[in-house]
Structure 1
Amino acid sequence: MRAAGTRGGRAGRTVVFACMDADTLGGVQQVTHTVAQGLALRGHDVHVIGLHEAADPFRYVERPLYEQHVAQHRPVGEGRRGTARARVSRLLSSLPPGYVVLTSPTVVSWLADAVPRRLRAIGQYHGSFEHARGTWHFGAVRRAYVGLARSVFLSPEDAARFAEQALLPNADHVPNPLGAWPETTSFLDVPRVLGIGRLAGVKRFDRLITAFARASRTRTQWELHLIGDGPELARLRSHAASLGVTGRVVFRGRVPASRIGQEYLNGSILGLSSEHEGFPLVVAEAASYGMPAVAFDVSGGVRALVRDGATGVLVPPADVDALTGALNGLMADHARRRRLGAAARAHAEAFRLEKVLDRWEDVFARISR
């Protein structure tokens, strides 16, 4: 049953999240369903819309308290934009006043002008300013988000840079939330580095493997566990073999969400080697278990999660030598791992679900003033 009210006594409102496809295994989808369920529990009337049907649907919430809709039963890349728009427009026209969160520049371009006036449109961007600046995303955000009620980014730094350089007077920031908060933390004494994510080119796990192989030359008890699956698996196996660490780089495949906590409890360092990231939840999740991260400094979201030298270690993007040195330093020093990990957990409190839901309700309140 849904709660009767919301924080501060405000009545529940209509909140709609629209994604290109809402049920693919991915970060945008995970965040959308987590926030949708949280807002529904606070008494809001929440809807999640997929403009396309997911080719391989993934269930994020066992008992959703929100309504789910699919505009057209065709995967992304197929179907008709006009058909999806018309169906979403009919749904939105049937809803009482509230807010529609458009979760990407593509969704904004498809739906912004189909949102009725009584539903205030919010443009969300799950990437970083750094990544957007080098792609078509920057121009799309600059053109399409300026006319919306609010533009929501992942970190204060991202919001400030978009406000200044994309001339967005409506920029705001809401981080991605942690889905749960663990009661226990890792002892950080298992000699294991974790790399978590889809085995895709953008994650650059080859760089993490290289750094691990170099850092562990004299610490052969250490292992690197890569959790996830994807198209790079064969290439990454070959890369590990070429570096002579086949037996110490363990490819775990996809681990169910119900068991991922045990992986954090059995790890000591999280490695993040991506080309670009928005707000990588794996870093926040690791921190919630008291685990420090070593990460490429690729975005405001990463910098919001990892305070260099205080909660983890940041190194220049793509600098494998620096990544090697950072891993080596933490692998050699259990006391430092514990110190950074404790600070990481304290810092991750800011990304607990209830606090992120508060941020969303504050955004809604500012729009309604």
Structure 2
Amino acid sequence: MTSRAAASGRGQAVVFACMDADTLGGVQQVTHIVAQGLALRGHDVHVVGLHRSPDPFRFVEHPLYEHHVVQRRPPGAGRPWAARGRVSRLLSSLGQGYAVLTSPAVVSWLAGALPSRFRAIGQYHGSYEHARGTWHFASVRRHYGDLARSVFLSPEDAARFAEQALLPNADDVPNPLRAWPAAPSFLDVPRVLGVGRLAWVKRFDRLITAFARAARTRQDWQLHLVGDGPELPRLRAHAASLGMAGRVVFRGRVPAAEIGREYLNGAILGLTSEHEGFPLVVGEAASYGMPAVAFDVSGGVRALVRHGTTGVLVPPADLGALTGALAGLMADHARRRRLGAAARAHAEAFRLERVLDRWEEVFARISR
């Protein structure tokens, strides 16, 4: 297989391998955004899903990269040795290049099956804090140090993995913003936003609780939750139990092309996840000049939210602090505008072109 960019000789092959490349999720979204950006720069880019997604989502309308699904079975039902053989054959048909393995599971499946002309890069989309509580840390420590490079989401995460997992090859590349809005929000619509899949890990129940407490004396404010997922019935019931059925609005899934309207019509972003790597929704909100109130759960969150400057960080799971932070910003439009302006300036570092530059720096470092 010879793709357009390889035939023109403009760039080396770059392959992104995911367990599942097409489910609506952060890893998948970032993979497709970066793949399209590198393809536009002339690289021969391929996105490989080791498994078929049970509910595929289209992230890029007109992809300039190749897209492959190795096994038609869903995750958990596939055969690692079959996937390794198929990916090895695919890569053998390409020129030399780089294989970005986007999770510890993908590294353990594929690292030993890559053709010698491909240099393996182990990517980790989670945080150091989360890794230490799961099998991920041991897997990163066991496998990532043998790869050409290891890539983490923030300088803090890269430094901590380098020190604690004894990695000699750690780099940091943040997740990129899909686009940059021409103008920011005025932050004058009395609306708190929660954006993401309605899954337990996002803990939107905490955001609903804190909003209900903060909004008791501010009847014009609403909380809008943008996304869908299995927690929807429970979250509806939780909002109703707090007397917020009419003020917590469930917007459902919003197409990527329309999400900007949500940020333009909001004033504060709430992030209440149990854990996060580098939450794109915070960067997206910041690009619209919207401050965030977030649980301080990772280096990625701290890279996005400068406490007291671009938003407010509160201790993880501290509902009292979260309520106070929301109430303070709800009551102070001037402070929202001040933090939001600083957030937009800070988010410049996560524009797609700058993140693509960082990826090409990683490739250059390997090639030296």
TM-score, reference length from structure 2: 0.97
Shift of 1:79: 2.2
Give, as a single letter, the amino acid of the residue that structure 2 aligns with 1:220.
Q
- 1:286 matched residue in structure 2: 285
Q: Does 1:345 align with 2:335?
A: no
Corresponding residue for residue 141 of structure 2: 142
Q: What's the counterpart of residue 199 of structure 2?
A: 200
Question: Equivalent pairs: percent with the same residue?
Answer: 82
Q: Is the 8 A contact 1:2 1:42 kept in 2?
A: no
Q: Alpha-carbon deviations, 1:191-244, whole Å to 9, x = none?
A: 000000111110011110010011011001100000111111111111111111
Aligned to 1:126: 125
Aligned position for 1:260: 259
Residue in structure 1 matched with residue 215 of structure 2 by the alignment: 216
Q: CA RMSD in A?
A: 1.6
Give yes or no for contact 2:153–2:175 (8 Å, CA) kept in 1.
Answer: yes
1:180-329 equivalent positions in 2, closer than 5 A: 180-329=179-328
C-alpha separation between the residues in 2 aligned to 1:246 and 1:60?
Answer: 32
**Structure 2 equivalent of residue 172 of structure 1:** 171
Q: Aligned with 1:182: secondary structure?
A: coil
**Structure 2 CA distance for aligned equivalents of residues 145 and 194 of structure 1:** 37
Q: Deviation per CA, 1:72-127: give whole Å up to 9, x if none.
A: 11111112111111111111112111100000000000000001111000000000
1:56-75 aligned within 5 A: 56-75=55-74
- CA-CA distance at 1:3 after TM superposition: 8.4
Runs of 4+ in 1 over 2 A off after TM superposition: 1-4
* Post-superposition offset of 1:63: 1.0
Q: Distance in 2 between matches of 1:56 and 1:230?
A: 12
- In the other structure, the counterpart of 2:153 is 154
Question: What CA distance in whole angstroms lies between the structure 2 residues aligned with 1:344 and 1:2?
Answer: 39
Post-superposition Cα deviations, 1:125-163, rounded to whole Å, max 9, x if no partner, equal: 000000000100000000010100000000000000000
Question: What CA distance in whole angstroms lies between the structure 2 residues aligned with 1:80 and 1:125?
Answer: 23
Please state how far the C-alpha of 1:299 moved relative to its aligned partner.
0.2
What is the match of residue 114 of structure 1? 113
Aligned mates of 2:250, 2:135 — CA distance in 1: 34
Cα deviation, residue 70, structure 1: 1.0
Q: Is 1:102 aligned to residue 101 of structure 2?
A: yes
SS of match in other structure, 2:263: helix
Deviations 1:318-349 (A, max 9, x none): 00000000000000000000000000000000
- Larger displacement relative to structure 2 (225-234 or 266-275): 225-234
| More moved, 291-300 vs 74-83 | 74-83
- Quote the residue 1:15 is aligned against: 14
What do the CA deviations read for 1:268-304 (whole angstroms, capped 9, x no partner)?
A: 0000000000000000000000000000000000000
Cα 1:2/1:285, change in 2 over 3 Å: farther
2: distance between equivalents of 1:332 and 1:297? 22
Q: Contact (CA 8 Å) 2:180, 2:351: kept in 1 or not?
A: yes
Q: Is the Cα contact below 8 Å between 1:3 and 1:41 reproduced in 2?
A: no
> Once the 2 structures are TM-superposed, how far is the Cα of residue 2 of structure 1 from its aligned partner?
7.7
How far apart, CA to CA, are the structure 1 residues paired with 2:339 and 2:286?
A: 9
* Contact 2:5–2:44 under 8 Å retained in 1: no
Which letter does structure 1 place at the counterpart of 2:167?
Answer: L
Change over 3 Å in CA distance of 1:168–1:255 after alignment to 2: same
Letter of the 1:347 counterpart: H
Distance 2:82 2:66 in 1: 20
Q: Are 1:26 and 2:8 matched, yes or no? A: no
The secondary structure found in structure 2 opposite 1:246 is coil
Match of 2:34, as an amino acid? V
**Residue ranges of structure 1 left out of the alignment (5+ in a row):** 5-9
The letter for the 2-side match of 1:17 is F
TM-score (norm 1): 0.97
1:54 is aligned to 53
Q: How many residues align?
A: 366
